[in-house]
Amino acid sequence: MGTVTDSISLVDVSSYLPKNRVTADYFTRYADPEDNISNAMFKSPPFRHHIAPGETPADMVEQAIAPMLERRGTEFLGEIDVLIVHTQLPEIGIVGSGGEVAARLGINPEWLIDLHNGGCAAFVHGMKIARQILMSSAARAALIVTVQNVAGQVFTQEQVRSKPQAAIPGDGAGVGLLVKSDDSPILDIETRHLPEFAGQMTVVADPPRKYWEAGTGQMHVGFTESKIAKVLARGNRIVPEAAQAVCGRIGVRSDELDVLVTNQPNRAFLRNWRDALQLPVERHPDTFDECGNLFAAGIPVTFDQAIQAGKVPAGSLVMLAGFAHAGDFAAAAAVRWGGR
């Protein structure tokens, strides 16, 4: 599959959206009129997809990789020495989904990593880790897997679905394949950890309790007007900064990018990021209206759909970028897309 080269390529992506397509009306009927948290973060998309009852992260990954297997056959699975899996909501306590994903795919990678940080930028974070492993070892190929599965499980709970934040997330999964080749080279990757903001995206319940403690209150993300303002300002800044750092090292201006693919917390971020990078809307595809905020799955799902729609021809200079949580991590990666 690979060749003798110093380059690592992102040669394919594929994705999955659950069949349950949910309209904004579902949340409107439960909305609490007294909950007046700012709409700057929580303007609802028309649609999003929710996982089915009993559907697991491993189930979602099997669906997400299926188109890739149809295109490439199953032989490449035998060369996967690196598997990096980010699951927004692991199916069981403590243990991530990586082991079950490997079992479902019938692979036994030397490097199996459950990547619990990285948040909405976990796909790029995983690319950087996998790229470094492939460059410095005999490993042949890597799979990067991101699963978003909280929308249909957490945000539909009786005590949560009435909150403005509940209407934003959607579920989905994405998979990326990295190999040693010059076919679709990763030109550069920037990752920035901002630990001073770690822990600011809190999970809360009423009455207050730790997430593992028994109690009557259902868990949700704790937002205040002050916190929203800080996240908006931080996110608007750190994603363009990471992308500009990559542009500087590969010797291009940001307005020379052919395609920008980001995570998609809301329309405000999408608009502000492309404005900061001086890109027209047609070069910044998104799936927000159909999928909402897909968290870490947003980048591979949107990239896959843009490729299918003919928006990423071979030779395109693609920037993948995003940030995590309340702004404790940002990442960007430039790829010279080789086509399918």
Residues 134 and 247 in one domain: no
Residues 125 and 245 in one domain: no
- The mean pLDDT value of the chain amounts to 95
Residue 27, in any domain of the structure = yes
Classify 335 as helix, strand or coil.
Answer: strand
Taking alpha carbons only, the member of 107, 119, 124 closest to residue 321 is 124
Q: Does residue 334 have a pLDDT over 50?
A: yes
Residues 167 and 208 in one domain: no
Which of 142, 158, 182 is the endpoint of a domain? 182
Torsion angles phi and psi, residue 67, rounded to 5: -65, -35
119-128: average pLDDT: 98
So what's the pLDDT on residue 1? 53
Residue 2, in any domain of the structure = no
CA distances from 287 to 50, 74, 227, 300 (A): 15, 29, 26, 11
Residues 83 and 154 in one domain: yes
Residues 169 and 220 in one domain: no
For the whole model, what pTM was predicted?
0.97
- 121 CA to centre of own chain: 6
Which of 145, 167, 182 is the endpoint of a domain? 182
Q: Is the peptide bond before 285 cis (omega within 30 degrees of 0)?
A: no
So what's the pLDDT on residue 34? 80
Collect all residues with Cβ–Cβ distance below 8 Å to 222 and sequence separation of at least 6. Answer: 202, 203, 204
Which of 182, 213, 239 is the endpoint of a domain? 182
So what's the pLDDT on residue 5? 64
Q: What is the 3-state secondary structure (H, E, C) of 48-114?
A: EEECCCCCCHHHHHHHHHHHHHHHHCCHHHHHEEEEEEEECCCCCCCCCCHHHHHHHHCCCCCEEEE
Report pLDDT digits (tens) over 133-160.
Answer: 999 999 999 999 999 999 999 999 999 9
Residue 3, in any domain of the structure = no
Residues 242 and 200 in one domain: yes
So what's the pLDDT on residue 83? 98
Collect all residues with Cβ–Cβ distance below 8 Å to 297 and sequence separation of at least 6. Answer: 15, 123, 146, 147, 148, 171, 172, 173, 174
For 300, the domain range is: 187-336
**Largest separation between any pair of C-alpha atoms in the chain:** 62
Helices (H) and strands (E) in the chain, counts: 8, 13
Classify 285 as helix, strand or coil.
Answer: coil
Residues 159 and 214 in one domain: no
Residue predicted with more confidence, 69 or 220: 69
Residues 76 and 139 in one domain: yes
Q: Does residue 337 have a pLDDT over 90?
A: yes
Residues 162 and 60 in one domain: yes
Residue 1, in any domain of the structure = no
Task: pLDDT band for 37, please (50, 70, 90 cuts).
Answer: confident
Residue 25, judged by CB atoms within 10 A of its CB (0-12, 13-18, 19+), counts as exposed
Task: pLDDT band for 2, please (50, 70, 90 cuts).
Answer: very low
> Per the structure block, which two tokens stand in for 125?
């974070």
Find tokens 């699975």 and name the residue: 77
Report pLDDT digits (tens) over 168-226.
Answer: 999 999 999 999 999 999 999 999 999 999 989 899 999 999 989 999 999 989 988 88
How many separate domains does the chain show?
Answer: 2
> Per the structure block, which two tokens stand in for 222?
């704790």
Cross-strand partners of 220? 204
So what's the pLDDT on residue 41? 81
The CATH code of the domain that includes 40 is 3.40.47.10
Residue 139, in any domain of the structure = yes
So what's the pLDDT on residue 238? 98
Residue 182, judged by CB atoms within 10 A of its CB (0-12, 13-18, 19+), counts as middle
Per cent of the chain over pLDDT 90 is: 90
So what's the pLDDT on residue 269? 97
Classify 178 as helix, strand or coil.
Answer: strand
> Per the structure block, which two tokens stand in for 75?
């032989």
CA distances from 268 to 41, 53, 114, 169, 263 (A): 8, 32, 31, 15, 12
Q: Does residue 81 have a pLDDT over 70?
A: yes
Classify 261 as helix, strand or coil.
Answer: strand
Q: Please answer whether residues 123 and 319 qualify as being in contact, where contact means their C-beta atoms are separated by less than 8 angstroms.
A: no
